[in-house]
Amino acid sequence: MRLAIPGVEILDQTLLPRREEWLRLETVSAMREAIAELRVRGAPLLGICGAAGMALAGEERGTGEADLRTAAEELAATRPTAVELSWGVQAALEAALAGPDDPGARRGRLWRFAGAHMERRAREDLALGRYGAGLLTPGAGVLTHCNTGALATGGIGTALGVIRVAHREGRLGHCYATETRPLLQGARLTAWELARAGIPASLLPDTAAAALIASGRVQAVITGADRIAMNGDSANKIGTYGLAVVAARHEVPFYIAAPRTTIDPECGSGKQIPIEFRAAGEVGGFGNQRWSPEGLGAYNPAVDVTPGELISAIITEAGVARGPYYQSLPELLAQP
Q: Which of the residues are catalytic?
A: 226
In Å, what is the CA distance from 241 to each residue of 116, 129, 179? 34, 22, 16
Strand order from edge to edge, sheet including 220-223? 201-204, 172-178, 140-144, 220-223, 254-257, 313-316, 319-321
HEC profile of 7-59: EEEEECHHHCCCCCCEEEECCHHHHHHHHHCCCCCCHHHHHHHHHHHHHHHHH
- Residue 254, strand partner residues: 221
Question: What residues form DSSP beta bridges with 305?
Answer: 235
Among residues 248, 163, 256, 159, the alpha carbon closest in space to that of 210 is found at 248
**220-223 and 254-257 as β-strands: parallel, antiparallel, unpaired?**
parallel
Asked if 1 contacts 154 with a C-beta cutoff of 8 angstroms, the reply is yes
Catalogue the E-assigned strands of the chain. Answer: 2-4, 7-11, 22-25, 140-144, 172-178, 201-204, 220-223, 227-228, 234-237, 254-257, 285-286, 289-290, 303-306, 313-316, 319-321
Cβ neighbours, 10 Å, residue 147: 31
